[in-house]
Chain A
Amino acid sequence: VTRQEFENLINEYGKEIYCFCYRLIGNKEGADDLYQETMLKTMEYCSKIDYAANPKSFLIGIALGITKNKRKKYVRRQRIAPSTPITCEIETAFLMDDEQSPEELCISKETINLVRTVTNELPDKYRLPVYMYYTAEMPINDIARILHIPTGTVKSRLHKARIIIKKRLEDYGYEK
């Protein structure tokens, strides 16, 4: 793999991979570490990447593997000093949409914050497919392959996650 090919990989998928790492870890410092480690690990596996299939899923699988292998370290660190709660820097294109009124903007920010917090509190069995589907925009089949569960279970978990998030939003006073 040439430097150019590696650079192309970063340019094409870097944003989604980084954002997936950010959602998974919940802070910039951790996301930077995980993203960097994922990309460097990718160097070793470059020959195994099937460019005709979905390199993004391959990269997400690597990021997930690194996170899971470091779980113990993370848990221990949490016991010593709980990691900072997620603070969201929302500067999304969605919020910059000219068609939204200031009132809608305000609601959107609040909603986005809430959805992110609620999602982050979900058990991993729901949280991971949600981030893979909504943030990394991976196909159901790829999520199933990486998580080693049937596609039906992925769909079922996404469905249940939506219900939980909806319920939590309603608990916070959003209209039913």
Chain B
Amino acid sequence: MDMKNNYEIDRIIKQSLKADCEPDLDLNKDILRQWKENDIIKKKEKRKFPAAAAIVLCILAVSATVGAAAKYLSISELTKEFAQPEVYQAFQDNDAIEVNETKVAGDYKFTFLGIASGKAIVQSELTNQLPENSQTYAVLAIERKDGTPMPQISDDSYSNLAFCVSPLIEGLNPMQYNIFCMDGGYSDCWKNGVLYRIVESDELQKFADKHIYLAVTDTDFWDNDAFEFDKKSGKITENKAYDGINLLFDIPYDPSKADSKAAKQYLEKFDALYGNSKNEETDSKKILTVEEVLNNKMQIKDSVQTLKKERNAYLFHYTDSNGNEKTVYIDEDVYFPNDKVGWSDELTYFEDETGISYVLFYKQTDGSITGYLYQ
């Protein structure tokens, strides 16, 4: 295999990873069958109940609410019954905080029961080891506003629920610093119609001198539109225009428990792991857009050539600073989607001793493609 240049590796990866497998026919049939069943259920749910039945339902709903309040589990009971011993132990510690704050949004009532830090129980995805430092565990109770019970974990309808619960830290952009990057995880458990979520993340108390939030959305994944981040003040707020649940609870840490040195070290490690380092930002900035290349870089006149098509790719040839002949392969569908003409929005770049060089492509109305090298 010839790997003389970066474009060859691009071609090899493309060939190796392209979508070459497909779902079994039976799997698709099964999905369509479930779609049909789901559609029938939805139609049934929309049906209006007769007035007499509605009254009975109201009485049942009130009874359920009273019943649920009486059966509400304490964190201690909850973690003893459902969580691992490390989590139960964390909430027995003196630093554990009981919050018991309730907020209502959409069809649900969310009660932030409390937060604690303790031994890590889940391997870090990045290091495949148990984190040396402790983790933070937060417990949230989720109920239906109308008192009807939440689906049990074993119910099919449980899989239709979507909640994302994430700690956020004042001054750190939620887009980059959320549960998905903080070695996060959660487990759900159900008792007496209430769904409890135990959320875990990297230890948070070290940031206790900042405003720390517990954010809740009704999405599977972190939705950056749900909250607003003020880069100047570092404050995070609920986006009032957001279409969906977007709650923020305050985590009432004692500021004296903050550990600025540990916080700094954590952020340095975090940035290194997730590519937020200054180096990568510099790398990102180094790669110019097509417009920037056209405005700021010099076109190498000898490089201009009409691309020849070989098999499924167009080929652009050039010679690098060491005198090696190289070839760029481009896929017309990627560079000129939807019969686009003019400058492609995509570009190819490579780096050698002389710096970064860019190859830009222009498609004429007759379909011919011209390549240009810029340095």
Residues B2 and A75 in contact, CB atoms below 8 Å apart:
no
Given the contacts A6-B32, A134-B14, A148-B224, A35 and B27 also touching, CB distance less than 8 Å: yes
| Closest Cβ–Cβ distance, residue A168 to chain B (whole Å) | 11
Interface of A is mostly: helix
Contact A3 B176 (CB under 8 A): no
CB contact between A111 and one of B12, B28, B273 (< 8 Å): that residue = B12
CA distance A64 to B298 in the complex (A): 41
Q: Is the CB of B267 closer than 8 A to any CB of chain A?
A: no
B67 at the interface (CB under 8 A from A): no
A135→B224 contact, CB < 8 A: no
| Residues from 1 to 51 in A contacting B, C-beta threshold 8 Å | 3, 6-7, 10, 14-16, 18-20, 22-23, 32, 35-37, 39-41, 43-44
Bound-state CA distance A124–B126 (Å) is 8
A174 touches B1 (CB 8 A): yes
B93 at the interface (CB under 8 A from A): no
Residue among B23, B24, B273 with the most chain A CB within 10 A? B23
The interface residues of chain B lying within 8 Å CB-to-CB of A93 are: 20
CA gap between A79 and B84 in the complex, in Å: 15
B287 and A155 contacting across the interface, CB-CB below 8 Å = yes
CB <8 Å contact, B20 and A156? no
B123 and A156 contacting across the interface, CB-CB below 8 Å: no
Residues of B within 8 A of A22 (CB): 21
Q: Is A66 an interface residue (CB 8 A)?
A: yes
A5 and B19 alpha carbons, distance in the complex (Å): 23
- Contact yes or no, B3 A170, CB < 8 A: yes
In the complex, which residues of chain B have a beta carbon less than 8 angstroms from the beta carbon of A135? 17-19
What chain A residues lie within 8 Å of B10 (beta carbons)?
162
Q: Which residues of A contact B4 (CB under 8 A)?
A: 176
In the complex, what's the smallest C-beta–C-beta distance from B106 to chain A, in angstroms? 14
CB of A169 closer than 8 Å to a CB of B: yes
CB proximity of A22 to chain B, nearest CB, Å? 5
Chain B stretch 69-104: residues in CB contact (< 8 A) with chain A: none
A102 within 8 A of B: no
**Which chain A residues border B221 with CB–CB below 8 Å?**
61-62, 64-65, 68-69
A41 to B176, CA, bound (A): 25
Tell me, yes or no, whether B304 is within 8 Å of chain A by CB.
Answer: no
Q: Find chain B residues with CB under 8 A from A92 CB.
A: 15, 18, 20
Q: Does B370 sit within 8 A of A, measured CB to CB?
A: no
What 1/0 flags go to A142-160 for Cβ under 8 Å of B?
Answer: 0000001110110111011
Interface mask (A84-100 → B, CB under 8 Å = 1, otherwise 0): 00000111111000010
State A125–B35 Cα separation when bound (angstroms): 34
Closest chain-A Cβ to B32's Cβ sits at a distance in Å of 6
Judge whether B125 and A75 touch: CB under 8 Å: yes
Q: Is B16 an interface residue (CB 8 A)?
A: yes
Q: Which residues of A contact B35 (CB under 8 A)?
A: 3, 6, 40, 43
- Interface-side segment among B50-58, B139-147, B180-188: B180-188
Q: Which B residues between 183 and 235 are near A, CB-CB below 8 angstroms?
A: 184-187, 200, 219-222, 224
A residues in contact with B123, CB < 8 Å: 75, 78-79
A105 at the interface (CB under 8 A from B): no
Contact of B219 with A65 in the complex, beta carbons under 8 Å:
yes
Instruction: Judge whether B17 and A134 touch: CB under 8 Å.
Output: yes
A99 to B312, CA, bound (A): 13
Chain A: CB-nearest residue to B20: A92
How many Å lie between the Cα of A76 and that of B18 in the bound state?
30
Residues of A within 8 A of B9 (CB): 162, 165-166, 169
When A72-B186, A125-B275, A137-B334 are in contact, do A36 and B15 touch as well, CB less than 8 Å? no
Q: Is the CB of A148 within 8 A of B175?
A: yes
**Cβ of B260 < 8 Å from any Cβ of A?**
no
Contacts of A91 in B (CB 8 A): 20
Of all A-B residue pairs in the complex, the 5 with the closest CB atoms, nearest first, are A72-B185, A65-B221, A152-B284, A115-B16, A65-B220
The 28 sampled A-B contact pairs (Cβ below 8 Å) are A3-B35, A3-B36, A15-B23, A19-B18, A35-B23, A37-B159, A40-B38, A64-B221, A68-B180, A71-B184, A72-B184, A72-B185, A75-B123, A76-B122, A79-B123, A91-B20, A111-B16, A112-B16, A130-B13, A130-B17, A155-B287, A156-B283, A160-B283, A162-B13, A165-B13, A174-B1, A175-B3, A176-B3
Beyond A134-B14, A174-B3, 9 additional contacts (C-beta under 8 Å) are A3-B39, A10-B32, A32-B23, A119-B16, A123-B126, A134-B16, A148-B224, A153-B284, A162-B10
